[in-house]
Amino acid sequence: MSESAKGEVVQEECYFCLPDGSRRFAHRTLTPVRDDGGKRNHDRRHRLDLTEQKELRDDLEVRVKPAHQELEKKIRLLLEQAETVRKLSGRLLRAQDGNVRRIARDFT
């Protein structure tokens, strides 16, 4: 059973068509209206047209997506490079430690 049928407030974003056939996007709210006895008489409907905001948001997402993907790619590369540096640092420290031990043995 839907929230509306149960008498609950329903809020959603959805597309709708105007009589001229143009498609719009809106935030819609259905609020049950009850009589004095608490019985649901009808729903109060409110619709806020968000078509321009949705178009701007969608356009922005399209324009930002390539930059976002490039940034993710660079972050992955930096993480790989950081791991390589960490491994090389470990090898260098082990080599230095080995040299110090050899020198110490030579002097004893």
What pLDDT score was predicted for residue 57? 95
CB neighbour list of residue 11: distance below 8 Å, 6 or more residues apart: 27, 28, 29
pTM assigned to the model: 0.53
Which segments of the chain have a pLDDT < 50? 1
Number of domains in the chain: 2
What pLDDT score was predicted for residue 12? 94
Range of the domain at 106: 65-108
**Kind and range of the H or E run holding 3:** none
Locus of tokens 């110490």? 104
Tell whether 60 is covered by a domain. Answer: no
Shared domain check, 102 and 70: yes
Tell whether 88 is covered by a domain. Answer: yes
Tell whether 34 is covered by a domain. Answer: yes
Radius of gyration of the chain (CA): 32
Residue 22 sits at φ, ψ, to 5 deg, of -75, 145
